[in-house]
Amino acid sequence: MASKTEIAKSRLGIQEERALQSMLNELYAIEPRDEEHGAFLRSRRSSLLERLGASTTTNASGSTSSEVSS
Protein backbone atom coordinates (compact mmCIF):
# COMPACT_ATOMS: atom_id res chain seq x y z
CA MET A 1 0.00 0.00 0.00
CA ALA A 2 2.85 2.37 0.77
CA SER A 3 4.20 1.99 -2.76
CA LYS A 4 0.86 3.16 -4.21
CA THR A 5 1.11 6.26 -2.05
CA GLU A 6 4.67 6.91 -3.20
CA ILE A 7 3.67 6.49 -6.84
CA ALA A 8 0.76 8.91 -6.39
CA LYS A 9 3.03 11.47 -4.72
CA SER A 10 5.58 11.09 -7.50
CA ARG A 11 2.92 11.61 -10.17
CA LEU A 12 1.62 14.71 -8.40
CA GLY A 13 5.16 16.07 -8.20
CA ILE A 14 5.67 15.53 -11.91
CA GLN A 15 2.33 17.20 -12.70
CA GLU A 16 3.26 20.17 -10.51
CA GLU A 17 6.64 20.51 -12.21
CA ARG A 18 5.05 20.43 -15.66
CA ALA A 19 2.49 23.05 -14.64
CA LEU A 20 5.22 25.32 -13.27
CA GLN A 21 7.28 24.91 -16.46
CA SER A 22 4.23 25.74 -18.56
CA MET A 23 3.51 28.88 -16.53
CA LEU A 24 7.15 29.95 -16.80
CA ASN A 25 7.14 29.44 -20.57
CA GLU A 26 4.04 31.61 -20.85
CA LEU A 27 5.58 34.34 -18.69
CA TYR A 28 8.80 34.36 -20.75
CA ALA A 29 6.74 34.69 -23.94
CA ILE A 30 5.04 37.89 -22.74
CA GLU A 31 6.50 41.23 -23.80
CA PRO A 32 6.14 43.74 -20.95
CA ARG A 33 3.93 46.74 -21.71
CA ASP A 34 5.86 49.08 -19.44
CA GLU A 35 8.43 49.05 -16.61
CA GLU A 36 5.85 48.23 -13.93
CA HIS A 37 4.54 45.29 -15.94
CA GLY A 38 8.13 44.15 -16.57
CA ALA A 39 8.87 44.26 -12.84
CA PHE A 40 5.76 42.19 -12.15
CA LEU A 41 6.77 39.61 -14.77
CA ARG A 42 10.31 39.35 -13.33
CA SER A 43 8.90 38.93 -9.83
CA ARG A 44 6.45 36.26 -10.93
CA ARG A 45 9.14 34.40 -12.89
CA SER A 46 11.45 34.48 -9.89
CA SER A 47 8.73 33.11 -7.63
CA LEU A 48 7.90 30.30 -10.03
CA LEU A 49 11.58 29.43 -10.51
CA GLU A 50 11.95 29.10 -6.73
CA ARG A 51 8.90 26.83 -6.57
CA LEU A 52 10.22 24.79 -9.50
CA GLY A 53 13.58 24.38 -7.77
CA ALA A 54 11.88 23.23 -4.58
CA SER A 55 9.65 20.89 -6.57
CA THR A 56 12.52 19.21 -8.40
CA THR A 57 14.60 18.75 -5.25
CA THR A 58 11.74 17.18 -3.30
CA ASN A 59 10.56 15.01 -6.19
CA ALA A 60 12.03 11.53 -5.81
CA SER A 61 11.43 10.59 -9.45
CA GLY A 62 14.51 10.49 -11.65
CA SER A 63 12.48 11.20 -14.77
CA THR A 64 11.98 14.91 -14.19
CA SER A 65 13.91 17.83 -15.60
CA SER A 66 14.12 21.43 -14.55
CA GLU A 67 14.78 22.93 -17.97
CA VAL A 68 12.90 26.10 -18.75
CA SER A 69 12.95 27.65 -22.19
CA SER A 70 13.55 31.36 -22.31
Does the pLDDT at position 70 exceed 70? no
Which pLDDT belongs to residue 59?
60
Residue spans of alpha helices (H) in 1-70: 2-29, 35-58
Range of the domain at 37: 2-55
State the total domains in the chain: 1
At 67 the pLDDT is 45
Assigned domain for 69 exists: no
Residue 63 lies in a domain: no
Task: Give domain status of residue 65, yes or no.
Answer: no
pLDDT digits (tens, 9 = 90+) for 18-64: 999 999 999 999 999 999 999 999 999 999 999 988 877 766 445 44
Quick check: is 66 in a domain?
A: no
Q: What is the pTM of this model?
A: 0.66
Q: Is residue 6 part of a domain?
A: yes
pLDDT score at 24: 94
Q: Helices 2-29 and 35-58 meet at what angle, rounded to 10? A: 160
Kindly state whether residue 61 falls inside one of the protein's structural domains.
no
Q: Check pLDDT > 50 for residue 65.
A: no
